[in-house]
Amino acid sequence: MIQIIPAIDIIEGRCVRLSQGDYSRSRCYDAQPLDMALRYEETGIRRLHLVDLDGAKAGGPQNLKVLEQIASRTSLEVELGGGIKSTDALRAVFEYGATYAICGSVAVKQPELFNEWLMAFGPEKIILGADLRNGRVSVNGWLEDVDMTIDDLIGLFPSVSQIICTDISKDGMLRGPAFDLYTDLQGRWPAIDFTVSGGISSMSDIERLDDAGLRRVIVGKAIYENRITLKQLREWLQNA
């Protein structure tokens, strides 16, 4: 059964959601990141997707204290992305409690370094973040598009085993994910665990992805907007 991974996106220590990766179209929510993480843990969630949006913009992690709070006060496995562009930053993310590190921009800009990280830390801990806009890879907090497809990117890293693929056009829009994209990717790269990211609007979206054989899915705005309730998540996990 597909694994549901709730998302917490952070700007200045607060929960926010963007629309299509646009920082000017952000919405701040009252819930604090730790409070949300505790609710997810109580529901039965085991893995949390944490995005340091300040870090993505600044080029280095900016919300490590939030990561430390969640890692120290819950049993959740935390995958963190946003601004991990140096080995020191990567080490800091793990030292502050992340189980997994999500790296996107550095993989595009410095593929040799990313391959070194895969070897040094292990592909079980390093996740390739592949963010797509109109079929092309986007980096630096979705502020820069590059002339590279996801297949070009995957081909650079023979040992990569986990990829979070975000369709930016769908992200935060609550209109459903790019089903064909993810089904195609998982079918052509069966050894890689792809995580669906962007556009989830209801439990029916998740059920459809599950039926298609996808393995992981990130859910963010749909929870904050009450399109998917914690009760529904709990029932899904109990039936897993």
Catalytic residues: 9, 131
The candidate with the shortest Cα–Cα distance to 83, out of 63, 58, 65, 115, is 58
Radius of gyration (C-alpha) of the chain in whole angstroms: 16
In this structure, what are the phi and psi dihedrals at residue 140, rounded to the nearest 5 degrees?
55, 55
Helix ranges, 84-200 (H): 87-95, 105-109, 111-121, 150-155, 179-188
Q: For residue 204, with 0-12 CB atoms within 10 Å meaning exposed, 13-18 middle and 19 or more buried, which class applies?
A: exposed
Whole-angstrom distance, CA of residue 64 vs CA of residue 60? 10
